[in-house]
Amino acid sequence: WSVVSGQKIIGLKSLVICLEDAVIEQDVGLGLQNLQHLLHQLATEEREAHAPLLFVRPRHTRMATQLSEWQLIHQIDGMVLPKFDMNSARDWRKAVASELMVMPTLETVMTFDQSAMRELRHLLLESAWEVLALRIGGNDLLACLGLRRPAQSTIYQTPLGSLIGQLVSTFSPHGFSLTAPVCEYFQNPKLLKKELSLDLTHGLVGKTVIHPKQINVVHGALKVSASDYVAAQSILAPDAPAVFKYEGAMLEPATHKAWALKICERAKYYGVI
């Protein structure tokens, strides 16, 4: 409760309560009981104004249906949908309560099939779902290949490097935000910082963390440089020229406007350095 209410981890933006891989089969019932207790707390006790968005990751569509039928399920903001692909998308759509946001996770073998991802994009565009972000499930995708990320390697030094670029080019131009895979080596902030730089270069907008010590590193990486912020504001200025020079680079509002808008949005939430 201290985490969910915003008391324990200041600055936490969102939180996923996992009832999938993080819970062994014999503890699922206990996990559901704990979630019910938490929902009652959310309905009766005050949260801090800065409390994180709250998501639940159900084990499968049957559990999502069960949770959606709970009277207090609207106390959470949404659900993370594991193993999301064309084989399961319609079942997830039926299972999840309509008022909840969703974060589908791309982490099955089908994620490697570009035509399947295009088909999935069309399905999501046609649905009435509020998709906050598409999550890239790095460990599960590596597991599909019988691999585990080496301890000193970023995710981009594995076969997933090219896949991430492919997913961004498939979904991002159509209005979907994508978030970066977990860096499970939470005792190695240097590796995390290196990977975050590559995440941003690839156009990803956030990163799932698995340990509180990773939060400030991620938030620091998401801060906008003063140079980029000034460039973005100059691009968005009403009287901006069609083409102009800034710090030795060409700026062109017609082509750089989308970038500038994203920079200003990041600065709004994470600040400028």
| pLDDT above 70 as % of the chain | 100
Degrees, nearest 5: CA angle 56-270-194:
85
| Band of pLDDT at residue 74, cut at 50, 70 and 90 | very high
Structure-block tokens of residue 140: 């599960």
| pLDDT band, very low/low/confident/very high, at 197 (cuts 50, 70, 90) | very high
Q: What is the pLDDT of residues 23-50, one digit of tens each?
A: 999 999 999 999 999 999 999 999 999 9
Query: How confident is the model at residue 17, as a pLDDT?
Result: 97
pLDDT > 90? residue 128 = no
pLDDT at 165: 97
Q: What whole-number distance in Å separates Cα of residue 71 and Cα of residue 31? A: 17
Class of residue 137 by CB neighbours under 10 A (exposed 0-12, middle 13-18, buried 19+)? buried
What is the C-alpha radius of gyration for the chain, rounded to an integer number of angstroms?
A: 20
CA distance 220 to 266: 11
Strand order in the sheet with 134-136: 14-18, 53-57, 78-81, 101-106, 134-136, 178-179
Question: How far apart are alpha carbons 181 and 203 in whole angstroms?
Answer: 13
- Give the mean pLDDT of 211-239: 97
- What does the pLDDT average to over 203-228? 96
| 182: Cβ contacts below 8 Å, ≥ 6 apart | 138, 139, 207, 208, 209, 210
Inter-CA distances, 272 with 132, 213, 225, Å? 24, 21, 6
Q: Which residues pair with 81 in a beta bridge?
A: 104
pTM value is 0.94
pLDDT level of residue 19 (50, 70, 90 thresholds): very high
Question: Span 79-95, mean pLDDT?
Answer: 97
Buried b (16+ CB within 10 A) or exposed e, 168-177: bebbbeeebb
The angle subtended at Cα 130 by Cα 128 and Cα 134, nearest 5°, is 120
pLDDT at residue 194 greater than cutoff 90 = yes
Whether the pLDDT of residue 5 is over 90: the answer is: yes
Please report, as a single letter, which amino acid is at residue 244. F
| CA distances for 132 relative to 59, 217, 238, angstroms | 20, 22, 30
Tens-place pLDDT, residues 91-117: 999 999 989 999 999 999 999 999 999
